[in-house]
Chains A and B, each alone.
Chain A
């Protein structure tokens, strides 16, 4: 039954990647990136259980920390560093 979980996470990877490359604005892409990171944490845990090696949970925890820090860093850069430059921020807004 872990095959069901890993297969559904795999399909979700593809769908989230489509939104990541297709997203109209920057924040759609950041949102898709955050969702991709969360799905990667779940995928590492499920694959660890699937192959009988639950030591993968350490890697999953590390990846969760890294994903959160990465998302917050990207958002803080675009929120505070270039807040006055509306031209750059609204460049690919539809």
Chain B
């Protein structure tokens, strides 16, 4: 049982690190603002979820677990709100103007 939680913790942490890297590479490689918004929300939701879950399985006491739960719940609520606010402000400012070609 010890080994099982350990193994799942490492799997979740490595998966979260991978999602964060994927989101950051998408943030610099994708051509226009709307697709960059999509890439940033990958690392904001998936990466945060899996890393917090992996650290929760490593927590040594109940208080650390509850603090991690608070950080996770707050980030899980606030980062889609911030993404929506950014998208709304950009849409009001310069409209929906996606790039047609994929070359940068």
Which residues from A are CB-within-8-Å of B85? 71-72, 75-76, 79
Q: How far, in angstroms, from A11 to B18 measured CA to CA in the complex?
A: 11
Chain A nearest CB from B52 CB (Å) reads 8
Chain B nearest CB from A46 CB (Å) reads 7
- Of the four ranges (under 10, 10 to 19, 20 to 34, 35 or more), the interface on chain B belongs to 35 or more
* Given contacts A5-B16, A34-B86, A79-B88, A18 and B74 within 8 Å (CB-CB): no
* Inter-chain contact A46/B24, CB cutoff 8 Å: no
Chain B nearest CB from A15 CB (Å) reads 4
Q: Please pick, from B14, B21, B37, the residue contacting A11 in the complex, using a CB distance under 8 A.
A: B21
* Inter-chain contact B71/A27, CB cutoff 8 Å: no
Q: Please pick, from B36, B55, B75, B79, the residue contacting A28 in the complex, using a CB distance under 8 A.
A: B36
Total contacting residues, chain A, CB less than 8 A: 46
Q: Which residue of B lies closest to A18 (CB)?
A: B28
Q: Which residue of B lies closest to A25 (CB)?
A: B33
* Inter-chain contact B27/A35, CB cutoff 8 Å: yes
CB interface residues, B 11-57, toward A, < 8 Å: 13-14, 16-18, 20-21, 23-25, 27-28, 33, 36-37, 40, 43-44, 47-48, 51-52, 55
